[in-house]
Amino acid sequence: MTIYRSPFPDVPLRDVTITQHVFSHLGDRLDETIVTDGPTGRSLTARQFIDQVQRMAGGLTAAGFGAGHTVALMAPNLPEYCVIFHAVAWAGGTITTLNPTYTASEVKHQLADSSAEMLITVPDFMATATEGAGDLHVVAIGTREYDALFGDPIMAQVPVDLDVHTLVLPYSSGTTGLPKGVMLSHRNLVVNMDQSITGSEFRPGEVAAAFLPFFHIYGMNLVMNIHLALGGIVTMPRFDLAMFLQISQDHKSRRMWTVPPVALALAKHPMVDDYDLSHLEQVLIGAAPSGAELTDAISARLNCITLQGYGMTELSPVSHLIPASRPRSGASGLAAPSTLCRIVDVESGKDLPAGQEGELWVKGPQVMQGYLNNVKATAETIVEDGWLRTGDIALIDEDGYMFVVDRLKELIKFKGFQVAPAELEATLVAMDGIIDAAVIGIPDDDAGEVPIAFVVAGKDAPTDADIHAHFKETLSTYKQLHQIRWVNEVPKSASGKILRRLLRDQVAAG
C-alpha cells in the first residue's frame, strides 16, 4: 500500500464542540466586531454574539427544539445565520442547512429526510418554505416569532458525544445520485478548522468578505467558523463583485475566498482596477479545480499568491491545501495535517506510485460519519479501514502535491454547486412523451460546467420550451438545462450504465 502523508505536523484532537472552539478564541476581544452585515452595516461584537447564541440556545431548549432535535435553516448569509448555527450547536441539537433557492419540493425532501422539527428562514423565502414545510413550524428571521426564540441563556455547552453526535447535516450528492444528508460531528468540524488554520497560515485579525454560502460546508467551516474565531466576517447575502471588492478594500483583507467564476472575474473584469487591493496576499480557489493559467493570471494582476485547495462535504470539507509559503501552480494541494491519501487504480484496486493517475482516497479525522439513512451509499464511499473514496481522478507528484485531472464521479459542478445528473434525468423521464434521457456537464468559462440533456422523444413529446418551463417550476436555478439535444438513443453499457464519455466526445466533435 502506497500512502502519501501530510508534510504538516498533526493537529490535536480537541475535546470541545465547534461553538466552544469558536468561543475559546473570543475571550480577549469581547468588544471587537466579529460579524457585520455587508448591505446594512448591522454588526455584532464578540460579546453580543456569545450572548445571543446562549440566549437562543435557551429559547430553543425551552420550546422543545434543543438537545436531540433537528432544526433546519434556509437563509442567505446574514449575521443571524451565525447565531442560529451556534445556538443549535450550543444546545446540543443538530442543524440541517438548506439552499435558500430550493423549490418547495426540494425543501420538502430535505426536511423529511433529516427529520427536522422546525425551519428558520427569511421573509423573502417564506412562501416557498411554508409550502415545502407542510405542517412543520416555520419562523422568519426579523419577526416577533423569531425574537421569541431567545430565552434565558444556557451558560455552558449542553454535553454531547463529540464523535457520535451529528452536529450538522448539509446535503450532498456524494459521488452519484440524489442529495444525501452528510453526517458531520463536532469532532469533524473542529479538527478541520485546525487543519485549515495550520495549513493555510492564518493570522489573528483577518476579516473576510463572506459570499460563499454558509449552507455549504466551504462557506460554513472555512469562512464562517474560522473567521468568527480568528478575525471577522462581513456577510453578503448574494455575490456582487463591487460589494466584494469594496469590503475587501475597506477591511484590508489579507485573503479572498473564491470559487472559479469569481476567480475568473478577478483575473479579467475591468472593475477590479478601481479598488485598492494592495494589502491582498492570497486568493484561494475552492469548490472545483482551476487551471494554472487562471491562477497565474490572478497572481500577476493582483501581485499576490493564488492557491487552490481540495475537499468535499464528506471531508468537512478540506483534505488538501497549499500554504502561501509553498505555492505550486496548478496543484490542488498538499495533504492537510493529520491526513493520509492514496492513489488507487480504478480497474485493479492497486495503489499507484507518484505521477500516475488514479482515484484519490483520503483518510483522516475529518472524514464524515456517513450518509443519513443510507447504509449502502456510506459503504460505497467509506471503504476498508476508514478510507473515503473521493470519486476524483488525481495524481500526486514526487513532492506530494496533488493534481485533480478528471472526475470519476458524474457530478456536474455549476458555479461550485453540485448538480447530480441522475436528478435531472429522473425529472426528464418523468415527463410525458420522453422515453429516455441523459445529462452531462460541458465546460463553461463563467460557470465551470453547465448541464445539457440528450433526450429521446416518444409520442407527443414536449417541446424545448415545455421542458425548460417544467424545470423552472420544479428545480433550483443552478439545476436548469442549458441545452437540449434530441437523439434516437442514449448510449449505454451492457449493464445499462449511461456512457457519458461518448456523449462528451459527441459534443466535442460538434
Run of H or E including 227: helix 226-230
Return the C-alpha cell found at 60: 430553543
CATH architecture of the domain 17-161+214-237 equals 3-Layer(aba) Sandwich (3.40)
DSSP alpha helix (H) spans, 30-143: 46-62, 79-90, 104-114, 126-133
In whole angstroms, give the CA distance from residue 291 to residue 274. Answer: 26
User: Which pLDDT value is given to residue 67?
Assistant: 97
The low-confidence residues of the chain, meaning pLDDT below 70, are 173-177, 409, 493-497
In whole angstroms, give the CA distance from residue 262 to residue 126. Answer: 29
In whole angstroms, give the CA distance from residue 427 to residue 157. Answer: 44
User: Which pLDDT value is given to residue 292?
Assistant: 79
Give per-residue pLDDT as tens, 422-455.
Answer: 789 888 988 999 988 999 999 998 899 999 999 9
Q: Are 74 and 121 in contact (CB under 8 A)?
A: yes
User: Which pLDDT value is given to residue 492?
Assistant: 80
Give per-residue pLDDT as tens, 25-45.
Answer: 999 999 999 999 999 999 999
Domain ranges in the chain with CATH number 3.30.300.30 = 412-508
DSSP 492: B
Strand partners, 395: 403
Which CATH fold would you assign to the domain 412-508? GMP Synthetase; Chain A, domain 3 (3.30.300)
In whole angstroms, give the CA distance from residue 223 to residue 280. Answer: 16
Return the C-alpha cell found at 279: 494589502
Q: Are 373 and 113 in contact (CB under 8 A)?
A: yes
Domain ranges in the chain with CATH number 3.40.50.12780 = 1-16+187-203+254-409, 17-161+214-237
Return the C-alpha cell found at 481: 438545462
Compute how many other C-beta atoms are within 10 angstroms of the C-beta atom of residue 9. 8
**Closest among 408, 412, 455, 413 to 430, alpha carbons compared:** 455
Q: What is the DSSP string of 408-459?
A: SS--EEETTEEE-HHHHHHHHHTSTTEEEEEEEEEEETTTEEEEEEEEEE-T
Amino acid at 132: G
Omega within 30 of 0 (cis) for the link into 451: no
CATH architecture of the domain 1-16+187-203+254-409 equals 3-Layer(aba) Sandwich (3.40)
Compute how many other C-beta atoms are within 10 angstroms of the C-beta atom of residue 489. 10
**Closest among 288, 287, 317, 285 to 217, alpha carbons compared:** 317
| CA-based end-to-end distance of the chain | 43
In whole angstroms, give the CA distance from residue 274 to residue 298. Answer: 16
This prediction has a pTM of: 0.86
